[in-house]
Amino acid sequence: MMSKSQQRFVVGVLLALAGLVSAALLIEGTLRLLTPEWLRFRMSEIDSGQQVFFNSDEGWPLECLDGGCYRFTPGSEFKVVTSEYSHSVSIDEYGARVTPDSIISDARFIPFVGDSFTFGIGVDDNETFVNLLDVVPNVDLLNMGIPGSALSHHIDIVERRHAELGAPELYVFVFFLGNDFQNLVEGRNIREIESVESETNSSESLYPTLSSQLDWLSSMNEYVLSNYTLRRIYTIQWVRHKLLLLFNQANADLMDPVFLITRTDRPYLEDAMEYFDEELQRLIATARVLQFEFAFLVLPDRHQVNSELLEVKLSYYGISEDKIDTMLPNRAIIDVLNVNDITYLDITECISVRNDVKDLYYLRDNHFTSRGHAAAAACMSKEMEQIFAMKLSGAH
């Protein structure tokens, strides 16, 4: 038998627990009835399923050397599956994703070098924008996109494979504004950290924003997202949002990469452009030595072309609208290309004025849908034809 004091204690604990549960249920019900727009979008992202992370590509038939992958295994096939899409991939004899026309020994061809946007994650072989372009007679296009790669890696691939590919006259380097700047900075940061560690035996971070000290928070987030029940609780996502705002106010900057380079109150773009310019000079020198022409194709992030989505995400991250300039990275990269007299095509404006812009990107994954690739091909087709004609005629 419990004493009266013990009984009162147990009753008190039970009442407290009942109060906490009631409060949690009340908050959960309120959030479900009066859902903020940012939370509605967040739950939609979660419902769409987990995205694929392209930093490992485990099981993909990639051929790699010295820490970098330079092509897929020729003639291989594999599948890419998430809850948002499922498609097969076929690789041609050059270790590139197949395009409509088989490349023959006496044909001229133009390699497109880029990341997962070029490769076409999320769509079938015949739906990539490289596949949809058919702008120059008797010239084939080669889709050399490798997910997770950056400009520095693309130059390495060209240096390694130029002779093997038969010394193409022209390359197109595809630059996705959503994360290519971040990949460029992170790649450089990793090399610098490895250099410092080898010289000083120290693991000190040189770029805290990208080498996050908040691994515990990331682990907790992944645990919640992997649990079917927890990830569907609105209250948990609401608390997560408040923690995100708190950390971002402390300059942790936990957000989509495009928001780092479109912010006017942060130096990230300035740092990234320094690295971009260095790699561009390396590319210019490489093109001079190997005797090829090249052009840049600039692709927009969805937040740059979808104003409604931008507004939702600004609220989610707690960023004031006057601290964002969505075209800032476009102007920065175009200025550098113009200074160096580099031919380029930026399709951001063309994509942004389309009425179906919401349907051009996947909800969670951020890659082009099949409609997005078709829109991109339509936006670039005419000008790309002019670039090809100019560059190929000038190569002789």
* pLDDT tens digits, 284-313: 999 999 999 999 999 999 999 999 999 988
Q: Is 113 exposed, middle or buried (0-12, 13-18, 19+ CB in 10 A)?
A: buried
Closest CA to 159 of 284, 337, 56: 284
The CA distance from 396 to 391, in Å, is: 9
Q: What is the mean pLDDT of residues 341-349?
A: 97
Q: Per residue in 121-154, pLDDT tens? A: 999 999 999 999 977 777 889 999 999 899 999 9
CA of residue 13 relative to chain centroid, distance: 49
Which range, of 47-51, 234-238, 256-260, averages the lowest pLDDT? 47-51
The total of other beta-carbon atoms located within 10 Å of residue 274's CB is 12
Tokens standing for residue 19: 């109060």
The CA distance from 282 to 61, in Å, is: 29
Given pLDDT bands bounded at 50, 70 and 90, which one contains residue 45? low
Closest CA to 257 of 268, 265, 241, 270: 268
Each domain of the chain, given as residue ranges in start order, spans 62-185+263-394
SS3 266: coil
Which range, of 164-173, 212-221, 308-317, averages the lowest pLDDT? 212-221
Given pLDDT bands bounded at 50, 70 and 90, which one contains residue 226? low
Contact 121, 52 (CB under 8 A): yes
The CA distance from 48 to 41, in Å, is: 11
**What is the CATH number assigned to the segment(s) 62-185+263-394?**
3.40.50.1110
Query: How long, in residues, is the chain?
Result: 396
CA of residue 344 relative to chain centroid, distance: 20
Q: What is the DSSP string of 93-109?
A: TTSSB--SSPP-TT-EE
Q: Which residues of 287-299 are buried (b: 16+ CB within 10 A; e: fewer)?
A: beeeebbbbbbbb
Judged by phi (left if over 0) then psi (alpha if -120 to 50, else beta), residue 326 lies in alpha
Q: What is the mean pLDDT of residues 371-384?
A: 96
Most confident of 49-53, 225-229, 270-274: 270-274
Q: What is the pTM of this model?
A: 0.78
